[in-house]
């Protein structure tokens, strides 16, 4: 566990430290989306945040390769090299799109090629655990097609959900944390070495997201762009493919050991977990495709009908909408994780039901502003502190924190989209954009 934590911390540190210089580079390079009629943000914000995330990935893999226990993953498996090859290709495509906005079909072709590169190097689905059937071996073509489909779907699901400050990075980090716990349990509790690469990928993915989040939380100073959203989507898919298609309890265990594995880790959980970690992004992707096709539009046409946009429309603030999406992601991912530990416990089902009810209540209270205890005020953003109560005791009226964040002292006056600043870049303020997905580097 200590080596995984070290790898995570190094990945997060490299990503965090590089994001600032990358932001300056993006401004100089002009990698900033223009403000259009359908956008809701006020100021251009640089993207290309995926550059820092990619170098964080490289740093994490490099450190893991030199650690005593994790180095065995590189010796016994070619999956880390397959991941790096696919990640480098998809990252280059994302960088080009962040700068030049390449055609959606070209990006789709690049995603297929990146997935194919990983398949050629051994990162592919070999078999599937089917409920009430058992483990079903796949032919080479079946495994290749299923792997490519899973990679492309995951990449675009993450890309579609990247619409608010900190949303995609936070949701993927939550999913990676749940998947890390699941893969780590299979690897160390049952000694299934085939789960080791997925455990490493999840730890590195958490580091990439945690290192980028401080720069991307509302108000965001930089967007990850397609170079980041497609990258973390690919890494997330790689971990799911590694566990789902490489771990075969029937071949690794026998007798009572195999029965124990099937009792503690139900056979269909490896198939269920990859679906739960992208449940909300995948639902958003499916709804977007259906919505746009029904209107006679291209599935890749941009609009403002995503789940996070609808949360804003019913009255939730930017930060609250992000937190609600975090809540549902964590509920689904960790609910599936808890079920994998003890599928017979009714307390798990009851807990999920209660938390779902709480989530529905939060959806119906868009004007509710949570407040933290005084002892925890130093660890949360100012908008969640007891400023109103303090102001009343002093005989003054404190402004609404959700309103004043638009005119906070550190924010600058929004400028017109065509107002050029130094180096030909548009002036930037600390006020975050509330981007339509295209503004944050989306492909849609």
Q: Please give the structure tokens belonging to residue 196.
A: 């080791």
Higher pLDDT, 341 or 162: 162
What pLDDT was estimated at residue 387?
53
Q: Is position 314 within any domain? A: no
* pLDDT, tens digit (0-9, with 9 covering 90-100), for 181-237: 888 888 777 777 878 899 999 999 999 999 999 998 878 889 998 999 999 999 999
Calpha distance 366→386 (Å, rounded): 19
pLDDT tens digits for range 321-369: 788 888 888 888 888 788 777 655 677 777 777 877 777 676 666 655 5
Domains held by the chain: number: 1
Q: What is the mean pLDDT of the chain?
A: 75
Q: φ, ψ for residue 81 (rounded to 5)?
A: -70, -35
Instruction: Provide the token pair at 182.
Output: 């699941």
- 117: pLDDT strictly greater than 70: yes
CB 212 within 8 A of CB 49: yes
Within a domain: 375: no
Residue 219 preceded by cis peptide, ω within 30: yes
Name which of 288, 296, 304 is nearest 440 in CA terms.
304
**What band does 36 get if pLDDT is binned at 50, 70 and 90?**
low
Distances (CA, A) of 381 to 214, 319, 339, 387, 414: 12, 10, 34, 12, 22
285 part of a folded domain: yes
Query: Which residues does residue 127 pair with via DSSP β-bridges, in sequence order?
Result: 137
**39 is a domain residue:** yes
Confidence band of 372 (pLDDT split at 50, 70, 90): low
**What one-character DSSP code corresponds to residue 188?**
I
Count CA atoms within 13 Å of residue 443 on its CB side: 33
Burial class of residue 326, CB neighbours in 10 A (0-12, 13-18, 19+)? middle
Q: Characterize 113-123 residue by residue with b for buried, 16 or more Cβ atoms within 10 angstroms of its Cβ, and e for exposed.
A: ebbbbbbebeb
The reply to whether 334 falls in a domain is no
The answer to whether residue 408 is domain-embedded is no
Residue with the bigger pLDDT between 370 and 436: it is 370
- CA torsion 171-82-108-148 (nearest 10°) is -90
Distance CA 110, CA 231 (A): 12
Find the domain containing 283 and state its range: 2-306
For residues 273 and 243, is the Cβ–Cβ distance under 8 A? yes
Q: What is the pTM of this model?
A: 0.74
The pLDDT of residue 20 is above 50: yes
Mean pLDDT computed over 428-434? 39
* pLDDT tens string 374-413: 777 776 656 556 654 444 444 444 444 444 443 343 433 3
Query: What's the token pair of residue 136?
Result: 């079903």
Give bridge partners of residue 250 from the DSSP assignment: none
Tokens of 332: 């689904």
Confidence at residue 318, expressed as pLDDT on a 0 to 100 scale: 67
Is 44 inside any structural domain?
yes
Buried b (16+ CB within 10 A) or exposed e, 191-213: ebbbbbbbbbbbbbbbbbbbbbb
- N-terminal to C-terminal alpha carbon distance within the chain: 39
Instruction: Select from 309, 322, 316 the least CA-distant residue to 217.
Output: 322
Is 392 inside any structural domain? no
For residue 189, the 8-state DSSP code is I
Calpha distance 193→196 (Å, rounded): 5
Task: Evaluate the CA torsion angle 216, 221, 224, 226 in order and state its sign.
Answer: positive
Q: Who's near 126: CB < 8 A, 6+ residues apart?
A: 137, 138, 143, 245, 246, 248
Instruction: Quote the pLDDT of residue 279.
Output: 72
Distance between CA atoms of 106 and 311, rounded to whole angstroms? Answer: 31
CA distance 307 to 177: 23
- Kindly give, in sequence order, each residue whose CB lies less than 8 Å from that of residue 327, ignoring residues fewer than 6 positions away: 359, 362
130 sits in which H/E element: strand 127-130
Could you give phi then psi for residue 311, rounded to 5 degrees?
Answer: -65, -40
Spatial contact of 261 and 294, defined as CB atoms under 8 Å apart: no
């Amino acid at each position: 566990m200590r080596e995984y934590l070290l790898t995570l911390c190094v990945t997060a540190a490299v990503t965090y430290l590089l994001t600032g210089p990358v932001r300056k580079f993006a401004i100089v390079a002009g990698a900033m989306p223009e403000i259009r009629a359908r956008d809701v943000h006020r100021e251009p914000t640089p993207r290309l945040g995926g550059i820092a995330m990619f170098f964080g990935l490289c740093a994490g893999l490099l450190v893991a390769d030199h650690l005593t226990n994790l180095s065995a993953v590189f010796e016994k498996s070619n999956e880390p090299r397959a991941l790096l090859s696919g990640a480098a290709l998809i990252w280059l495509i994302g960088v080009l799109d962040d700068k030049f906005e390449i055609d959606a079909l070209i990006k789709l072709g690049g995603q297929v090629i990146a997935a194919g590169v990983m398949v050629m190097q051994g990162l592919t689905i070999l078999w599937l655990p089917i409920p009430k059937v058992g483990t079903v071996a796949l032919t080479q073509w079946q495994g290749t097609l299923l792997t490519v489909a899973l990679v492309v779907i995951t990449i675009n699901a993450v890309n579609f959900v990247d619409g608010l400050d900190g949303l995609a990075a936070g949701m993927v980090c939550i999913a990676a944390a749940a998947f890390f716990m699941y893969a780590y349990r299979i690897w160390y509790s049952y000694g299934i070495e085939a789960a080791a690469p997925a455990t490493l990928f999840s730890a590195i993915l958490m580091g990439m997201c945690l290192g980028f989040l401080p720069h991307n939380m509302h108000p965001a100073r930089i967007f990850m762009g397609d170079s980041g959203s497609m990258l973390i989507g690919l890494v997330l898919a790689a971990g799911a493919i590694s566990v789902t298609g490489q771990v075969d309890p029937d071949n690794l265990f026998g007798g009572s050991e195999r029965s124990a594995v099937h009792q503690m880790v139900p056979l269909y959980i490896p198939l269920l977990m990859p679906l739960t970690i992208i449940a909300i992004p995948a639902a958003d992707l499916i709804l977007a495709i259906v919505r746009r096709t029904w209107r006679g539009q291209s599935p890749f046409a941009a609009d403002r009908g995503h789940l996070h946009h609808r949360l804003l429309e019913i009255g939730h603030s930017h930060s609250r909408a992000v937190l609600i999406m975090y809540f549902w992601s964590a509920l689904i991912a960790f609910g599936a994780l808890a079920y994998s530990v003890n599928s017979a416990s009714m307390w798990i089902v009851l807990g999920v039901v209660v938390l779902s009810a709480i989530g529905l209540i939060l959806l119906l209270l868009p004007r509710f502003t949570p407040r933290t205890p005084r002892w925890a005020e130093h660890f949360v953003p100012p908008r969640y502190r007891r400023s109103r109560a303090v102001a009343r005791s002093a005989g003054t009226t404190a402004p609404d924190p959700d309103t004043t964040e638009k005119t906070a002292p550190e924010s600058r006056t929004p400028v017109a989209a065509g107002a050029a600043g130094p180096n030909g870049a548009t002036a930037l303020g600390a006020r975050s954009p509330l981007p339509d997905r295209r503004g944050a580097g989306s492909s849609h």
